[in-house]
Amino acid sequence: MGEYMPLPSKPRKGRPPKHATQEATRRILETATKLFAAQGFAGTSVEQVAATCGAGKDTIYRRFPSKVALFEGVVEQARERSLVKLEAIEQLGEDPIANLKNLLNSLLAINMEQDLIALKRIAFSERVVFGKAEDGSAPTQPDPILLRLVSCVEDAQNCGAIGTGDAKQLAEHLVHSLVSIPTADAMLGGKTFEDPQALEEHFQRVWTWLIYGVKGTAL
């Protein structure tokens, strides 16, 4: 009898496994993030993303039907990663002021990351903002970052560490003064806070003003 020869396996049909699809999407988004951050929105094409990450152009378009959709996917991935980093920020102890300061300082560090600054710059200049409603209004879903900050403010208020008032408004002012000012400067190409020491000095100075007040003498 002749030697047994196994039958050749048939080509696999149907959709690829879920993990393979997720890996392809991750690779596409990571490549697109680097290209958008380095070249801007106008300077980056779907063809460039496909060639750089090794995916077919049709593969990208099946997941992201336009370059705007691809950019929105990049922004959403960056947002999700920021939320993961936020969840990893642990309380330092039972001191609500220390916890509030630590959270704000961590938010500042996350928002000053170069890729995130570049994506915000694109969103601002190109008006390509993920989650924007069709009527042009801002998204209405709660911001988990702000919700956590509001909770920290409320903890500090409940123990008398800071004054009473609308916790959400206080949280928004803290974010604007401590985080948004250096972030906006970096988005517009400013170098004021490029030096880590300058960024730290800004945070410490403004934190002192906000928590202890700026009035030096009686009015």
What confidence tens digit (pLDDT) does each residue in 151-166 have? 999 999 999 999 899 9
Nearest to 107 by CA among 179, 168, 193: 179
Q: For the chain, give the mean pLDDT.
A: 85
Query: What's the pLDDT score for residue 140?
Result: 53
> What local confidence, expressed as pLDDT, does residue 123 receive?
86
48: its two tokens: 């460039």
Query: For the segment 181-217, what is each residue's pLDDT rounded down to a tens digit?
Result: 999 999 999 999 999 999 999 999 999 999 988 876 6
pLDDT digits (tens, 9 = 90+) for 33-83: 999 999 999 999 999 999 999 988 999 999 999 999 999 999 999 999 988
Q: In the prediction, which pLDDT does 20 show?
A: 65
Per-residue model confidence (pLDDT) at position 167: 96
Indicate the pLDDT class of residue 142, thresholds 50, 70 and 90: confident
Spatial distance between the Cα atoms of 136 and 151, rounded to a whole number of angstroms: 29
Write phi, then psi, for 46 (nearest 5 degrees). Answer: -60, -35
Quote the Cα angle for 166-169-172, to 5°: 150
CA–CA distance, 31 with 194 (Å, rounded to integer): 25
pLDDT in tens, 169-189: 999 999 999 999 999 999 999
Q: What percent of the chain has pLDDT over 70?
A: 82
Check residue 8 and give left, alpha or beta (phi > 0: left; psi -120 to 50: alpha). beta
State the DSSP string of 41-99: TTT--HHHHHHHHT--HHHHHHH-SSHHHHHHHHHHHHHHHHHHHHHT----SS-HHHH
pLDDT reported for residue 47: 95
State the pLDDT confidence band at 8, using cuts at 50, 70 and 90: very low
pTM: 0.78
Q: Which two tokens stand for residue 68?
A: 């705007």
